[in-house]
Chains A and B, each alone.
Chain A
Amino acid sequence: MTLAEPTTSLRGDLAVRAATVRYGGLTALDAFDLRVRGGSITGVIGPNGSGKSTLINIVAGITPVDSGSVVFEGADVTGLTVPKRASIGIARTFQAIRLFDSMSVLENVLIGATRNYRSSLAASVFRTPRLKKDDEVQRELAMEILASFGNRLLPRLSHPVGTLSYANRRRVEITRAFMLQPSLLLLDEPMAGMNPHESWELAEQLPGLLRDRDCSALIVEHKMDIITHLCSDVYVLDHGVEIAHGSPRDVVKDPAVEEAFLGIE
């Protein structure tokens, strides 16, 4: 019997280094540093306009940094495009849900797996054996992830997503993100628009989902209790600057945090 090798894998490891983003005269992020360790769930909280979404967008590749860098699994990805970053395992959900409304739940979910199989016109016309096999594998994976939400989505596979409740649309979006088989999931206010019951249900399901898929997560939220429940490590942002960092327990006691959140919580 051999000892388990010490894990040298950087799977899901993210480092944002001295990232600065300016919009005209406004500094959205100011020399911000952040680390998401592989397998962990790291949270970012802060008042509206504190730079949380900008942070998600620089990691996803939508917003370029003016200075600083984004390092994913040990490699500098600062210059990579959105599709490139998706292809190396960075998936995301959007603060304002972006689904294909005329398509069904299952179809929306399978769209997330597009890059996992050949979907060219020729392959579809001739229904190549490889396409059929890929399709089977992806559908199986889709059902597996959809089942994580209990009976929320399984009975609605063929419903157009436009007819779903807000919470279910969010669940579809999360499933679609997992279909990319990411090693890092960026969740931009996933509980926004959900009632407390739905928020907690999702908060209970997320850690297991991430663990099963060997995926780390960066989650942006302003519901403090949810962040405390989910995350081992929390950053507090205000006006693009880190005002506190540490375990959720320590962070909530920080006077600077109390001041920033006064009147919000």
Chain B
Amino acid sequence: MGSELMQQIVNGLAAGAIYALIAVGYNLVFGLLELINFSHGHVYMVGTFVVLSLMDTGIPFPVAILGGLVIGAGLGMAVERFAYRPLRGANRIIPTVSAVAATLVLENAANIIWGPAARRFDTPLPKGSIEVLGVTLTTMHGIVFGTAAVLAFGLWLLVEKTPWGRSVRAIRDDLPTAQLMGIAVNRIVSSVYALGSILGVLAGVLFAAYYSTVYVGMGFTGTLNAFTAAVIGGIGSIKGSFIGGLTLGVVQALAAGFLSSGYMNAITFVILILFLIARPRGVVGRAEVSRA
């Protein structure tokens, strides 16, 4: 029983690391303009399918990933440019509706191109495993957790320590003043959507490689998990969304292991609702400073 619990926690941490990675990208974008970005999961789903299709034509895995990242970044920028930018400054419910529209377009396009059935996703990543105290640790556990942690840390450095990140935070604090200070707001916003999508597609590839599968429905689940992880951790906080992702992964794995995997989305919704009621700022969310 003890080792079974440990095993579920390890599995949950790996799955959670993927959620965490989707969530940091999601949170980066969401925190910037505080627009609910419904299409984030769909962009990551399409990007992952692109990687699969490229590999089907014999293109090597790393090059295929690159292709998926380019398409994902392009899609993220396009969604921002056409679904959000024209509505910037409008009541927030309006871009939320156009976000749903963008999501439907992406989902239906994916259904037409790749079909509704789950597809096998095989990668040349090593498949070994070792046993420690009755708990199986696979190479994939390590790859998933390591990649997600390095990327999230890299993003944190980028946002907190570089001139680009400074501009991003200035826009997040006060967009009109940022504009008056000569920050190229549209260019920065566009690059944030591109980067968020790139992190999303990388998470999608990790997800597909970890579960050896890719399917259209992972778009919606991805957005739901990312949003929940972001709410747990705190909107606008990279550290918070990483912690939120790990927490969500472990809770889901425990629910799947000890109840039934059928309850996973239900559990996610319950957690989301509980946090929205009890602590909408999240675990490490920053207080609203400048928008009061």
Give chain A's interface residues, CB within 8 Å of chain B.
82-83, 86-87, 98-103, 107, 110-112, 114-115, 117, 119-121, 123-125, 127, 131, 135, 162, 176, 180
Contacts and interface: CB of A to CB of B under 8 A. Distances in A.
B169 A121 contact: no
A81 to B, nearest CB: 10
Q: Lowest 8 A-B CB distances belong to which pairs?
A: A119-B163, A124-B164, A124-B162, A121-B191, A100-B173, A115-B182, A98-B177, A101-B289
A120 B181 CA distance: 16
A248 to B, nearest CB: 31
Given A112-B181, A114-B183, A125-B158, A162 B289 contact: yes
Contacts of B174: 98, 100
A119 B178 CA distance: 14
Contact of B180 (A86, A101, A127): A86
A123 B164 contact: yes
B169 A102 contact: yes
Contacts of A119: 162-164, 166-167
Contacts, number: 81
A238 B172 CA distance: 39
Interface of B is mostly: helix
A176 B188 CA distance: 20
Interface residues of B, number: 27
Contacts of B195: 121
Interface string B167-201: 10110111001111111000110010011000000
Interface of B: 158, 162-167, 169-170, 172-174, 177-183, 187-188, 191, 194-195, 286, 289-290
Contact of B170 (A103, A117, A180): A103
Given A114-B183, A121-B194, A102 B173 contact: yes
A245 B164 CA distance: 46
Given A114-B181, A121-B191, 16 more contacts: A86-B181, A86-B182, A98-B180, A99-B177, A100-B174, A103-B169, A103-B170, A107-B169, A114-B167, A115-B182, A119-B162, A121-B194, A124-B165, A125-B164, A176-B181, A180-B182
A111 B164 CA distance: 10
A94 to B, nearest CB: 8
Query: Which secondary structure characterizes the binding site on chain A?
Result: helix
Contacts of A120: 164, 187, 191
A120 B177 CA distance: 19
6 contacts: A100-B173, A103-B169, A112-B181, A120-B164, A121-B158, A127-B162
B179 to A, nearest CB: 7
Contacts of A135: 163
Name the residue among A86, A101, A115, A119 with the largest chain B CB count within 10 angstroms: A119
A86 B182 CA distance: 7
A135 B165 CA distance: 13
A111 B183 contact: yes
Contacts of A111: 166-167, 170, 178, 181, 183
- Kindly name the residue among B181, B191, B286, B289 whose own CB sees the greatest number of chain A CB atoms within 10 A: B181
A127 B157 CA distance: 12
A123 B182 CA distance: 18
A95 to B, nearest CB: 13
A162 B292 CA distance: 13
B158 A87 contact: no
Contacts of A125: 158, 164
